Amino acid sequence: MEREPNLVISSASQRVVEDGVPFKVDIYKLEGGDGWSLEVVTEDGTSIVWDDLFEDDQAAFEEAISTIRSEGAVAFANGGSNVIPFRQ
């Protein structure tokens, strides 16, 4: 039986505050995987996950910061155009 790969958490993962709005930036990949996944979680628990993988964890972190700044931290956190809510 083949074992499941471990999840590797990047040291670039961190909590950031932009314009007074906190975000959790999570960057991870499967052990032996080719690319890094990026997830940004808002203070209310909304998770935004990028579809594309990143070549390295620093590129993923830079994309998170760039997107938060370009969307505007408050709009990003309050369900801007990039957030699709799940049906209740």
Residue type, 81: S
Residues 39-68 as b/e (b if ≥16 CB within 10 A, e otherwise) read: bbbbeeeeebeeeeebeebebbbebbeeeb
Per-residue pLDDT at 5: 85
pLDDT higher than 90, residue 22: yes
Assessment of whether the complete model's pTM goes beyond 0.85: no
| Band of residue 78 on the pLDDT scale cut at 50, 70, 90 | low
**For residue 21, how many other CB atoms are within 10 A of its CB?**
17
Q: Which contiguous run of DSSP H or E holds residue 22?
A: strand 21-30
Tell me the average pLDDT across 16-25: 92
Cβ pair 24, 9 in contact under 8 A: no
The predicted pLDDT at position 60 comes to: 98
